Structure 1
Amino acid sequence: MSNVTAAAKLDPTVAKAAIGLVLRFLRDEDKSGNMQTMIAKMPRAQEAIDASLSTGDGGVTQVIEGMTSFIGHGRADLNILAGQLEKLGVSEAQTDALVREVLARAENVIGVEGAEKIRDILPALRERTDLPTDLRRSA
């Protein structure tokens, strides 16, 4: 968690809830089971997910879900996550850093192929996190 906190420049308390939101989002969207495997292998992942459950989004989710038909399901889902993170005070740049670090950690925990399947969950997620291999960080 300290790598993510440092990379995203987040307060550790905010980082825990933010990481939980990202993990929960990816777990819920992942049909392959790779995220569940990753969460099971990460000692504090479930704790972070539990911390994220106490964060609300002030109705942002319902508004964005209503717009899904206009902007596409994948983008809407990612925008819901972004809205939840924004409510925690996480900027767009911090969100990008956070998701990149979680995906880098996924590479270390479940391998490159598993991380690619997670990245492919939503086209909008790939667009935001697709980095050349030489720029990917090791967590």
Structure 2
Amino acid sequence: MSHNTSSEPIERGWDEPWYRVRMADFQASFLPSDGEDLDEVCNVDVFVTLMDGSRWTATVFTVAEVERLMKLWAGTDEALGGRYFWVSDGLIVRDPGIDSMTSYSSSVLWCGSRESRRPWRKRRSSRTASSSDRTRSRKSR
């Protein structure tokens, strides 16, 4: 499959609770928190469906959000008092916002090597992302 180099979304908008961004080669479905400013999103689950039907998932964090969480956890039992941060399908990016995260998703998924997709978890199910997929606890928000 060839990658379309256009970085502009074809379509984007709400399909509650999802915010979906359709690009030429994939669709990204984000699960921002209720009322969250889309330009300020810093911790979000994303489900990406490629044109070949394969589905990939990740949780995207900004560097600032990781720092905030580690400080929040200091003095608690969470992650040894905030001394480390780990998530199995996590991606850490510099800039907040859905547009930034969509651009990053496009770059990572299409740079060509399987190694580059390491942070993404390939989903076995072919069903589309639904509200039942929102099972990850966001207790740390």
TM-score, normalized by length of structure 1? 0.28
Judging by fraction of residues, say which structure has more strand: 2
- In our comparison, the structure showing a higher alpha carbon Rg is 2
TM-score, normalized by length of structure 2? 0.28
Higher relative contact order (CA 8 A, sep 6+): 1
Judging by fraction of residues, say which structure has more helix: 1
